[in-house]
Structure 1
Amino acid sequence: MPKPSTRVLLLACTLLAGVVLPARADLTHRYSFTSDASDSIGAAHGTLEGAAAVSDGAVVLDGADAYVNLPGGLIQGYTAATIEAWTTMAEGPVWTRLFDFGATNGANGHHYVFFTPHSGAADTRLVISDTDPGWAHEELVAQAGFLDDGNPVHVAAVLDPAKGWGAFYVNGRLAAWSQNISIPLSQVAPDYCFLGKSLYSADAYLTGTIDEFRIHNSALGSAEIAQSFATGPAALNYDPGPVAELALALPAQVRLGGVVIPELTGTFATLGQVTLGPLDVTLRSSAPGVVTVQTNGNLIAKAVGTATITAERDGKSATAVVTVLPAPVVLMHRYSFNEPAGSVEVVDSVGGANGSVNPAAEGPNTVGLGTGQAVFPGGSTYRQGGYIDLPDGIVSSKTNITFEVWATWNGPSGSTWQRIFDFGSSSKGNDPHASGNGTGSFFLTPRGGAGVVRFDAAPTGFANERILDGTATLPVGRETHIVCIYAPANQSSQLWIDGKLVRSSTAPFPLANLQDANCWLGLANWNDPPLNGALNEFRIYEGALTELEIALRRQAGPNTIPTDPGLLESISLQAPTLLQGNRVAAQAALLANFQKSKNVDISGLGSVTFTSTDPNIFTVAAGGGLLPVNLGSALLIGSYQGRSATSAVSVVAATRLTLTLPSPALAGGAATSAILMAEFPGTNANVAAFAGVTFASSATNVASIDATGTLLPLRVGTTTISAS
């Protein structure tokens, strides 16, 4: 009795399909190629031309003369359209067509819309034109790479010119889009509607198969297209259900006049996470005078200030805060120190404010050139230092200012108050080799009185002084990227070291208050020691760099000025293995890939967050500093602009210890440090200062040793030092 149960099962499936998977009211044409090119929705039946043939539920195109000829006028009267296809396009010549709807004039097409899997510019593109010949004025949506690779693919092309929107989706995911489509569909003259053939006679035919081809008289949303792809070509289902969770990602800072494209994702019960377009949600701004939402979903920065942007769909919402900064920074002065040895002038390649190279007042020291950097040899006193004198007024002429420098400090590590730069005035007059005190200045020192790097802004002595101290002295013998910002318009001053914001404060006075008659590199407006180090590049900007601009410049290095990186594409996370007991944080790196800039270290950005899934294994600080807590493994999560990346982090134990002591130690001599080398999986380290390490002396009256491994010889004799 197998047949009755089979019939019941088939009937149940048919009823289920009829109830759960209804056709959309805006689906106007459907070609399933079961036996021919019939239209099961709109009765606009097509014909198979040339060698085109239907086989196994798909039309087969041979790339020679085969194509499907659909009736003219298919999208006539549409204001928006979505064109879907399940297809396999084999590798072939450029400029083949999946579809091409329009008119011809001789050998040329015009007033058309088409989709090519492989253009002559090495991309995949959706094109609309409103002129004859068509190539004379086209608007397009393009993505690098090809789709004619022989793999089955679902393509959905969407045009909604009234909202400026054009996009195409590949396998249910938003692949490329434009918010600047202005040619209305009424300008398309669909006299001919071809599948697999171009309106241009010189273009090749498509080689491949088309399983299903659909036309809608509306712009489908991202979730609807994702649901269609998930359902497949055999059935109709465009309902993803309500969104369960919505996420909105925006840059934390944007320039006045800047345009921001929101990055949106929605999580659906049946689909999981779907990348949404700006027209898939409703966007609102809490302060339209600061950030305005345009019809196409773009955000325009209209005024300096802060706005909260809210995205809404299906009763769910997500928010993000955007701060609008003053107009874009302008590079005003750039010193690359590429002059030959012996030069007495350094060139400002941007602003023409060249500086003079001056020797020491005592001794032979001067600033060394000829190696692509300015080398300052230091000296015992300010009179023994060479320096560079930049033109007066280089700071006070600005409204907001950013100093950027790649500097190497050569110490000594205990030296204080050397100057990388010092711009201001002094009782010295205009001679840094005279004795005197500063009366107001902006300066940067590798090591100030607090024992750390300092950026100091004091226009009139100590009144309203802004001290921005770092967290450590500038490293000795290693090039460091330093950014100092003073922006009264933002009420913000900042000190960045190697891409990390280490200190911030307010900016209470205008730059015009500074009397910057002395603009010196390498010497101070005070009687402080001369710089012992080198400057690879020194730049001055009008305006305040954003955190992302700082990260991009650090990555580009001193020889390159970076350009717009494009949209964020992905992020990745790198994390080291942690050594048990290490008190010094190990650094994780969150890297961002933008369209035009790859592997940008964004770890120090304020809009980046790091999370440990188990703080009992390791902890993580802002900026990605990792500290071990207990042996084991846990995940590190880094997040930026709505994207997240993970990396496993392990805390490992030492497998072997080796203790080395100075021998012999002189009774009553200076203290020395023990070296306790530990072998860890994959590395070795001196763990003398690690947490959990203990030292002991068997004869403390002969020599003592403290918890950090500092050995103090006291008297003649022998003692055994142990460590564990």
Structure 2
Amino acid sequence: MTRNNPGRTRAARSTALSGVLKKAVLLGFLGLGAADLQAQQLVHRWSFTNLNDSVGTANATLNGTASVSGGQLVIPGGAARTNFAALPIGATIASSDSLTVEAWFTSTTNQNWAKVWMFGTPQANEAATGYIDFTPFTGITNNPPSTGFKAPAGAQTNTRGGTNPAALGTGTQIHSVAVFDDAANEIRLYLNGTLADSEVWNGTISQLGNTTQNYLGAAVFYGDPCLNGSINEFRVWKGAMSAARVSANSTAGPDTVPPHDPRISVPGTVAATSSGGAISVNVPVTNEGSANSLSITGATLAGQDAASFGVTSTLPLNVAPGATSNLVLSFNPDGFTGNFTATVEIASSDPFNASKIVNLQVQVALPDIAVTTPGAYGPVARTAPQQSYSLQISNTGQGELAIIDAIFIAGNTAPTHFQQFDVTRDFVSEGALIVAPGGNTNLAFTFNPGGVHSGAKTGILRIFSDDPDQNEAQIDIPITVNVTGAQSESPPVLAHRWSFTTDGSDSVGSAAAVLNGTASVSGGNLVLAGTGVRTNHATIPIGYTIASASSITVEAWFTPANATQTWSKLWMFGTPGSSGEQSTYIDFTPRSGITGDAPSSSFRSPSGEINTRAEPNPPALVANVQRHAVVVYDSVADLISIYLDGQLADSVAWVGEIYELGNTTDNFIGGAVFFGDQDWAGTVNEMRIWRGAFTSANAAVSSSSGTEQLPDLNAVPSSVKIGSVTISGGNIVIGGVTGLVSGQSYHLQTGTLLNDFVAVPGSTFTGGGAIPVVPVNGPRRFVRIVDGAAP
């Protein structure tokens, strides 16, 4: 079982997650409610009985008329950097994230912007100069005291914003403490033991580097006057001083450093590992004091996984001076795996650090998925039954691995045959597939050759697991099966037929049309409004037919609703890719956007596109007239041909196989695959798809048979002969016609060229009846007899 972490989720089918909790992944420690106070270490102290640093080695140097007298550093004022003391503490500045600067001072005369202290490194201009300082009497309104920080080439942060403390007087000793607290992101100013001002601060003292000018009584870079007053004692502490320590120091005064005894020390982070069961987690607590025992009085757990921890040690826990004892915590993963994080806040008798926070991290037996990438499966004959295969999955980690789900998906590039694959296990009802640490298992799947054409057929197997690695929680494995054999497609075999009498049912196959948007069936037609993109159309599930055919014939009886809508598709079957070039498809466009708006057909495989739009092209189709279109992809004759109303209208050389498109995913009547072409507007009376290629005779017979009955593809079209053509009274008169079928409808078409025939209005007649005359119009005129009534 894996641990549920609300802070992170993983993409997976929700139905497969029933009863299975997902593994958490450690992203970082949670934010702590209160910042852990850094250690307060006194590193420099000057009491000014002389210039010596009684704690460190940074003895002061006097400049100008500054002097030491009566246990104080006396600075008489003066111009910038004339009378002051210098402290060689650059190394301390450079090595500190947080810093506390403490002083007891007395101002004799207040001067705007004079400094009790300022540490920094001057540069060519103010913007480039970095420093920290304490100014007892600023030059802003009401002259409040201020402390601040400026990083080199950075902005200044100081305590002068918002409400400020009152101006400081003269002649009275003042205790000032400036705290630069990196952990709390804050600058604090204490005066006489009480917090007087603060400001948000996002920086570290070490940004200042090894400062070169560290002055008592003088400014770095600026032209501010020197301090007119005295400093009784000066101290520099590494770390951020606590309020309790500030108060204690203020009470003790300048001549005494209150002992920090007992003094607690704990690590910032305690990490542990578990093989899956309960363990103890030891938090070492050291008493750095020399005389007093340290008492641990409380331990409070917090954070997202606090419920997995407990306090085992009996409190209070006493730690002798100089000794270390373990605060023992219990940890129980309760069957989960992953990374667990929490915090423990330790309360103690430390007079200055009453509360310390330790980050806890426990790693519990993580799994690691590894999949043996297979070679190609097979070969298998295209006529073979469904095949069973398996894929090996290993767990190279230390924790139990759960395979949550596995499905076959469409790949990013065509052709795709993922529909022929299926995972055997039902993860919804059977649950996760568990792999023990160091073990492996086989994930079973099937492949159905189902008559698909020969060649390598690939599906992408997507595996979902609780591996904590984000890149391995969901992995895609290409699975390829080699298929052998080919099929005969002569004569053509009807695979699908939609008559749209009452609905979108397929009366031959099982590919019932699904209506989308406002598409409807009415009056024996599929009615398409022609608005939106892939919005109002019909979808037909014929991908398998595409995947299993070398040649294919698509025919439809249709009526365009307008003569202005270019590039809209009567039908388009394919698989979209990341671009038009990466998509695959076949289509019929009744009105292309080229010159003349000729109807056209296309075939795009991964190797490129072939279309019929090269000149010469048939004329544009008119609106509101039913037409019969047959598009033939003939892999034997190497042709794509378009027949309109039984007559060859256009063709293009083509070398390919329909099955190169794979098991197409988007098969639309009235909509475009991938492209932004508007949905087609009009009606479709009937649509058929045949495996194999129509001949011109097949196209003529099917057009003649119409929508009510299927054509006899073995029938030979009747041979019609015209005996005579004469001109009489301004009309063309056709006579001596033989071969017409008695009672069958025909009509006349005329044109000035052999490729611009149009129907003669009112020219419908029946075999055995009178043939209408055609008015002579122009220097020449061609006339022909066509099956069916005039549109």
With normalisation by structure 1, the TM-score equals: 0.33
Larger-Rg structure? 2
Output the TM-score relative to the length of structure 2: 0.31
